[in-house]
Chain A
């Protein structure tokens, strides 16, 4: 059965995606680079324990040695290999950012969809909650929550979800409000579909593009904020090789610049990768807001 959604009615029929290869071909070069960089970090997380690296927690050389053939990024104040620690740092930062973004998307989108679809009191209460949450400067709210819950990566993650969910609530609410007016929704209602069915089957599947694009971009920002909280002393605790806390160790050993160099470059690469990829995806899927 040939279906044209009202969105594209009147336009020449767009070829449906012929799978991921087609998507890949249409991405701009920068976005491809970003995707490859992210893939590199994901593979690192999965396989780093198999790499022939030094033990990130053990003293493997003399202290505070500058970069050399043996220790590519030198050694830190406890004689640990900085390159190995930087690579192992991905095990902390990448999965945590993934969990935080996923939780923020699920919580925010659910609440936003409910607010947009049901309106009335649900809408008022949820959106006032959003308004209050975004009244806080993000880092201060995260610091306050993390300070209340106590240091540790789990608590820092909770704090970051609290900071991030409102963005997704607003995005999803706006999408649902827009798509709710589509004719196919009216047709579904006329056909006797229940409210949850209308929301779940006829509206939500059309609403994901802005959320996914934003989530891609936010991934890097979450890595950055998580590292910031660790740097301040509210995230990961020593001796775990988390990027932010490695930089804070480097800050105390000022003359040994190499301690902080690796983790800083690692954070930079993730943030750049996600903004490249996010930009590319936005060009493909969401021309209007580009």
Chain B
């Protein structure tokens, strides 16, 4: 078990090197000319300036040397300079990461809560209309194109009925709370500004629901099937024989055993969350790294999209590693080899 975790940990740096190498190859293939981003257009005809810039950015060096420099820069957290914002990509990402995290964490909470309750409902009332409705709701969530459901829900709840405000993290011309965590909701609470907290929460609600709904399907499915499996096990029969009501068998006995499959699926939902976050941010004009990546990709700004890709991969690898560790830790029966 420990040996397994150690082996996974050792693999991570190699996988990251692989990710970085792929990113380097892509950067070399890109059609966007890095020079165009660095040299003002009217100076492009001046070979002296062009050469000086090339030398400064190392563009005149042979490929293997550039590769080494690239990896070295990455190790120091230097993801290059964006062609469009002309700022270091790492600065851009650091600035926008809290917005994405706030959205993803809120969505994860909504998705898990919804998935657990729907899974419980449909296992308890298996084969009834409640079961059917819960499963359909979950299935539709994971099958909908998120950029479409976001749009339609935004139209219904914001334009038609004005229940929630429009896009963005706060209404226009409202100053964000002083930066502590970067999460507007939490920062507003820390600052003791209740109206601001309400506004931030109202803006967060719909995008977080849209994103959470997308992962509800997977969670409901796994919770339902493991609960139903649990209800037919010997321990459930014993509990019933001792007079436990069905609700208690479900919550007290089957549910704890359903936590292990749920844990393994959470790592898997992370991939959905990243995909969903990119598209949700695009629809809701949410100033996170997803909308940054979309803008970068549309303007063929490779350093920016490459930077987001590397950061996303690091998060992805860590999430999968944590899932594996949590899984092995939660279930000592599992012999990992």
Q: Which residues of A contact B (CB under 8 A)?
A: 128, 131-133, 135-141, 143-150, 220, 224, 227-228, 231-234, 244, 247-248, 250-251, 254-255, 257, 260-261, 263-264, 267-268, 271-272, 275
Contact = CB atoms under 8 A, between A and B. Distances in A.
A140 to B, nearest CB: 4
B274 A234 contact: no
A227 B312 contact: no
A261 B151 CA distance: 10
A279 B53 CA distance: 57
19 contacts: A136-B19, A137-B309, A137-B315, A138-B271, A140-B274, A140-B305, A140-B308, A144-B297, A145-B26, A147-B300, A147-B302, A149-B31, A224-B145, A248-B147, A251-B147, A254-B159, A260-B152, A268-B145, A268-B148
Contact of B145 (A128, A150, A264): A264
Nearest to A247: B148
Nearest to B166: A254
B231 interface: no
Interface string B142-166: 0111011101101100010000000
B11 to A, nearest CB: 8
A52 B11 CA distance: 59
Given A143-B293, A254-B159, A275-B143, 17 more contacts: A136-B22, A140-B293, A140-B308, A140-B312, A143-B305, A144-B297, A144-B302, A146-B297, A148-B26, A148-B302, A227-B145, A234-B297, A244-B147, A247-B147, A247-B151, A251-B283, A268-B145
A94 to B, nearest CB: 15
Contact of B152 (A133, A136, A261): A261
B234 to A, nearest CB: 22
Contacts of B140: 268, 272
Given A148-B26, A275-B143, A250 B309 contact: no
A135 B302 contact: no
B306 A268 contact: no
A135 B309 contact: no
Given A233-B298, A261-B152, A228 B305 contact: no
Interface in B298-326: 298, 300-302, 305-306, 308-309, 312-313, 315-317
Determine the interface band of chain B, counting residues with CB < 8 A from chain A. Answer: 35 or more
B258 interface: no
A146 B294 CA distance: 12
Given A234-B297, A254-B159, A144 B309 contact: yes
A231 B293 contact: no
Given A148-B31, A264-B152, A139 B143 contact: no
Contacts of A232: 278-279, 282, 294, 297-298
B23 interface: yes
Contacts of B305: 140, 143-144, 147
Contact of A147 (B143, B275, B278, B296): B296
A128 B16 CA distance: 12
Per DSSP, chain A at the interface is helix
A242 to B, nearest CB: 12
B233 interface: no
Most chain A Cβ neighbours within 10 Å, of B139, B140, B147, B155: B147
Contacts of B300: 147, 150
B297 A233 contact: yes
B334 interface: no
A17 to B, nearest CB: 28
Contacts of B279: 139, 228, 231-232
A19 B78 CA distance: 60
Contact of B313 (A128, A137, A254, A272): A137
A268 B148 CA distance: 10
A251 B145 CA distance: 13
Contacts of B308: 140
| Residue of A143, A233, A261 with most chain B CB atoms under a 10 A cut-off | A143
B68 interface: no
Contact of A272 (B19, B143, B316): B143
A76 to B, nearest CB: 14
A138 B270 CA distance: 11
Nearest to B15: A135
Interface in B239-284: 271, 274-275, 278-279, 282-283
